[in-house]
Structure 1
Amino acid sequence: MFSIDGLTTLWDRLLGAQPDPPPLLLLGTAVVALVVVATRTPWRIARNAVTIAHEGGHALAALLTGRKLRGIRLHSDTSGLTLSAGRPTGPGMILTLLAGYLAPSLVGLAGAWLLGGNRITLLLWITVALLLAMLFMIRNVFGILSLLVTGGIVLAVSWYADPQVQAAFAYTGVWFLLLGGVRPVGELHTLRRWGRLPESDADQLARLTPFPALFWVGLFGLVNLLVLAVGAALLAGPALTDLLA
């Protein structure tokens, strides 16, 4: 059992601010994340993290709008499916569909805000908690394994790694979500143009609203680019200032 001193130490570790990482580390992690997003094989592997955030966004929006969540499936081809019950039309369904492509970028923005306050350990532990909560909604074996592996890596880094490694891991992850939230929108546009994704979120939104699917694809892209700009300012602004000073 934890003693009072042990709980206090754990609480201080969780909520305390870590040292400022070197400016070159902040910029270097951005380059690493950009390379992962821009290259085929690394993106193919790391894209599972974007899918987790995408389906988690659908699930959270469904719960917040009063829909009944039936479950989440994550597939080895990096696709996913979130099923919820409720009215097939109306604001709840629209917001649930809208949340998917925006979620990775918005999660990245929340992470950038925490890192701006040097709450690196807190960010990692929140990530573990969210993955654990999502685990109870998963309805297939690959999805369970994906969350267990992802959560296990984050937990191990948060518990055993030194502050510099934690910082590098956290910044790379946040940069990846900010940048990785943009690429799937481009992929969506390409697949729709080839007629290979007729039941996309954008197409479903087009059937529920007066706006065409292309409008929703453009909205996804615009919002995610704006979020990327704000997140980059939060992450890299202080580092650039220090380098130029």
Structure 2
Amino acid sequence: MKDKLFAFFEPLWQFIDNGSFYREPFRWLYVAIAVLNLLFPLVAIFGAIGSGVFEYIPGKVIFALILIFILMIALGIMSFVLWINRQKKLKELLCEDNEFVAIPMVSHFIQTVGEWLGFYIGLFGCVASLLFLLFGGSEMMNQLGGASLLPWGTGVVMIIMYPIIGFLIVVSGRLLAELYRAMASIANSAKRISNRVADAAPAESEAPAEASPAGEE
């Protein structure tokens, strides 16, 4: 009875030990974030149309707003592709003999968030700042609520600064992820070496002792 009880729960323990318990929720999280990135531009567009904002702004601002919406759709598609691509690579992170499985998952998530946020801020900030500059500057920014979209402001300098900020976010996310990944790699390597030493020790003890050579007279 006791053996049957342990055997009944064995698949659950295997599901946890082989990393699927950690990997599968992250894969679904990646898919959910990817879908949200596709839906966000549509929600923003329909929200702007429903608010009647086009009735109170001049034609050049409407044109700029349409360009910003197109930019948001393009970034949404890019973000969707990024998260789906990274989701497919999650399975490659874990090996069967890995002792530490949660750290690679978290580090990969941190890296992906850094890439997504960096590209989004860098591209959107640069192009949107350029549009604000070309089609009305601060007046257009106030009409479209640009302060919430571009918290660091707009201008010629920010056209250059937003890509730099985005690049630094990507690098920072990658650096933090690699630190976690290095810890997991070192720990897993140490565990493998320890297991090999432990497996080799009994084999050496069972080997027949060689006869000592007779001394010369």
TM bracket, shorter-chain basis: 0.3 to 0.5
TM-score (norm 2): 0.32
Query: Greater share of strand residues, 1 or 2?
Result: 1
Q: Which has the greater radius of gyration? A: 2
Query: Greater share of helix residues, 1 or 2?
Result: 2
Q: Which has the higher contact order (CA 8 A, sep 6+)?
A: 1
TM-score (norm 1): 0.29
